[in-house]
């Protein structure tokens, strides 16, 4: 099993070199501070106060895929918890298929594009207290529709319809054409 903390620190360093407009040195420092007192084994333990999630950005023409989160009641990227034995990119690919019925096409190239900290409120139904997700966000350029029924409501939204947080991912920096 891979050391998750090392994977995240390496990802932060990679993003420092990537020069995305939404990334900053301050964001990198905050993430490193958040990771400082976290053990690698806590990062895929849903009971820990801070653990990993991973999400996928999928865009076709001028639209991006989103799900409606059943508990948070928000429009979000397809995402989920990094499970034991998984690395974040595997989580993002799995959650994309489970939540939307879309699969990464063949040997399609995925790219880490961002890492965010997300505050999650308590969920008494699941017995979870408030916690934070360190969400690794990947993009993929091509997907295929599977025969799997999506677990969640799926929407293809334009730049103007998308939540503001995700609008930068529509831009040229990810190799997408601006068609909006």
3-class DSSP assignment, residue 78: coil
9, 34 Cβ separation under 8 angstroms: no
Question: 104 forms bridges with which residues in the sheet?
Answer: 143
31, 134 Cβ separation under 8 angstroms: yes
Which range among 61-65, 106-110, 125-129, 155-159 shows the weakest confidence by mean pLDDT?
A: 106-110
Q: pLDDT per residue over 164-177, tens digit each?
A: 999 999 987 787 65
Q: What does each C-alpha distance from 121 to 49, 79, 132, 133 come to in angstroms?
A: 11, 17, 9, 11
Q: pLDDT per residue over 87-139, tens digit each?
A: 999 999 999 999 999 999 877 778 999 999 999 999 888 888 899 999 999 99
Cα distance between residue 70 and residue 32, in whole Å: 30
User: Tokens 């969640």 — which residue?
Assistant: 152
5, 12 Cβ separation under 8 angstroms: no
pLDDT band at 78; cut points 50, 70, 90: very high
Cα distance between residue 43 and residue 24, in whole Å: 23
Cα distance between residue 101 and residue 80, in whole Å: 14
**pLDDT of 70 over the 90 cut:** no
154, 67 Cβ separation under 8 angstroms: yes
pLDDT band at 180; cut points 50, 70, 90: very low
32, 9 Cβ separation under 8 angstroms: yes
Alpha-carbon Rg of the chain, whole angstroms?
16
Q: pLDDT per residue over 8-58, tens digit each?
A: 999 999 999 998 999 999 999 999 999 998 999 999 998 899 999 999 999
């Amino acid at each position: 099993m891979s050391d998750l903390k090392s994977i995240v620190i390496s990802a932060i360093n990679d993003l420092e070199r990537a020069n995305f407009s939404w990334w900053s040195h301050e964001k990198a420092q905050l993430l490193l501070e958040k990771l400082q007192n976290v053990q690698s084994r806590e990062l895929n333990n849903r009971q820990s106060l801070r653990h990993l999630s991973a999400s996928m950005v999928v865009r076709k023409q001028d639209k991006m895929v989103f799900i409606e989160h059943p508990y948070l009641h928000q429009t979000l990227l397809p995402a989920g918890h990094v499970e034991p034995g998984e690395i974040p990119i595997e989580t993002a690919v799995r959650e994309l298929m489970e939540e939307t019925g879309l699969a990464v096409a063949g040997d399609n190239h995925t790219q880490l594009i961002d890492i965010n900290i997300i505050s999650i409120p308590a969920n008494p139904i699941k017995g979870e207290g408030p916690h934070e997700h360190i969400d690794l966000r990947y993009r993929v350029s091509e997907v295929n529709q599977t025969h799997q029924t999506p677990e969640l409501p799926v929407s293809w939204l334009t730049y103007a319809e998308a939540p503001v947080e995700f609008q930068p991912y529509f831009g040229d920096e990810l190799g997408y054409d601006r068609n909006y």
